[in-house]
Amino acid sequence: MSTMTSAAVDAAAFPGVALRRNLSTAALVEAAIRRGEGELAANGALVCDTGDRRGRSPGDKFLEDTPGIHDDIDWGKVNQPITPENFDRVEAAARAWLSGQDELFRFDGFAGADPNHRLKVSVVAAEAWHALFAKTLFINAFADGEGAEAPFASDWTILNAGGLQLEDPESVGLKSSIGIVQSLERRMVIIVGTRYAGEIKKSIFYAMNHDLPARGVFPMHCSANVAHDDPTNVALFFGLSGTGKTTLSADPERDLIGDDEHGWSDDGVFNIEGGCYAKCIKLSKEGEPEIWDAIRFGSVLENVVMDPRTRVPDYDSSAKTENTRVTYPVEFISNARIPSVGGHPRNVVFLTADAFGVLPPVSRLTPEQAMYYFVNGYTSKLAGTEAGVTEPQPNFSPCFGGPFLPRSPMVYAGMLADRIRTHGAKVWLLNTGWTGGPYGVGERFKLAWTRTFVRRILDGSLDAVEVRTHPIFGLEMPVAVEGVPDEVLDPIRTWPDAAAYERQATELAKRFRANESRFELSDEVRAGGPRV
């Protein structure tokens, strides 16, 4: 594969346009306010609105199909092909639109805290706040406000022309005016038609999910932390957006490695990013103090309603979207581990938000169950995370990160199985969803209970407790966990109608069995699934 150079995004690429490189945080905030892109909240954060699109647009993501990468890709609904000719047309339109702006903003940095496995990334955007978003989410290549003239040969280039609305998108191979178009050979991403900043971060995660396996590194959609006083006590939390990765990894009793994207190499785990991207709907200082305190000058609030008089953010309001977000550098978490690297995990936790309300809140998985539940990646899409999602929807997302996987899910599942076997990690399934009934009837598990389960997992308390086996899913459920009511541990005991519970559980089990047919699983792994 070719390597992009900074010539692709330097001033010569956009003649007559002021290209402002690697501005300081203060300068980017000032530029965003000057340009009307955002306002300062009372807590110092920059409050921005992403416009019509307030979540990711996975249906509008396309990958250039070339002979060099064709056989590596799991083509389908997630990995939609676009021809090289149409990629050229989208790129030309984006460059022409960017060239018509008065000024552009460029950020240079890294994806990957481990220098042995990092990529150089350049982001060019028409909006200052998008450059600030990149500055908070990636690892800065230069000290704050430096690097305007320094050479930087990028491995990956993102051209963010989010304000461009293509008049005839079908003529360039797109479904709509929105397009996130990526090329693994050109090592370039073109964004048009959407100002949602999460597309910037996820496009580079997608790139790492392609590149890292070829280097023998397992890329993971997970958060990670480590005990303050025990570097061998590393934990991973896999899960889709809204299931608790950020909340549960921001633990005052442990050091945060990262909240969303990691690699697992022969040396241990490392954060792919330099910042955190947390949901903040219903955020409170009491419930999530670490995230609350991280929201200050240098962070970015997306689509959060702010009182125009007091300038105080209203985290309870979903008037714009349920998918309100905050972005901040990882070092804004007081107990962040810098550099963001750790050893091999002792515990691996799969997070699922079960909208059916039937899975137990915590269970330990056998190696076969670990493979089964990882490949199926069951959870619920939560409101606002993707366009058109207004309430939780049952969802199977391979490896708890299906939208970001260019290769076959079995590639990533095999890498996880190999590492669990090699390093003896224990694997757990933690349900952060509903109990006592499905969504709309039951209640969501209390965060205090979930935190208790995590503490007991990480201190080893659940390793040898008495368990009962779920009759349908075959999961081992603790009989008692200190600090949690016993009846919560067996979901059938929280439902007012046991027969209704069994019907609902059987329905979900059938969905698992239907979904597993997509994968080439061994008989042993299939036996780790539900009993229907």
Per-residue pLDDT of 347-389, as tens digits, reads 999 999 999 999 999 999 999 999 999 999 998 876 655 666 6
Residues belonging to the active site: 56, 202, 221, 241, 245-246, 260, 325
- Per-residue pLDDT, 387: 64
Residue 4, pLDDT above cutoff 70: no
Residue ranges of domains in the chain, CATH in brackets:
6-34+57-214 (3.40.449.10), 346-526 (3.90.228.20)
Q: Give residue-wise pLDDT tens across range 468-491.
A: 999 999 999 999 999 999 999 999
| Burial zone of 69 (CB within 10 Å; 0-12 exposed, 13-18 middle, 19+ buried) | middle
More confident residue, 119 or 383: 119
- Percent of residues, the chain, with pLDDT higher than 90: 92
Residue 65 pLDDT greater than 50, yes or no: yes
Q: What is the pLDDT of residue 385?
A: 57
- The tens digit of pLDDT for each residue in 149-175 reads 999 999 999 999 999 999 999 999 999
Q: Check residue 240 and give its pLDDT.
A: 87
Q: In this predicted structure, what is the pLDDT of residue 393?
A: 73
- Beta strand segments in 470-524, E: 476-478
Mean pLDDT of 46-56: 96
Whether the predicted pLDDT of 144 surpasses 50: yes
- In 206-314, the DSSP E strands lie at 218-227, 230-238, 254-258, 261-265, 268-271, 275-279, 300-302, 305-306, 313-314
* pLDDT single digits (tens) 260-315: 999 999 999 999 999 999 999 999 999 999 999 999 999 999 999 999 999 999 99
Residue 7 has pLDDT above 50, yes or no: no
Question: Do residues 222 and 238 touch, judged by C-beta distance below 8 A?
Answer: yes
Q: Say if residue 12's pLDDT is above 80.
A: no
Q: Are 42 and 311 in contact (CB under 8 A)?
A: yes
pLDDT value at position 498?
97
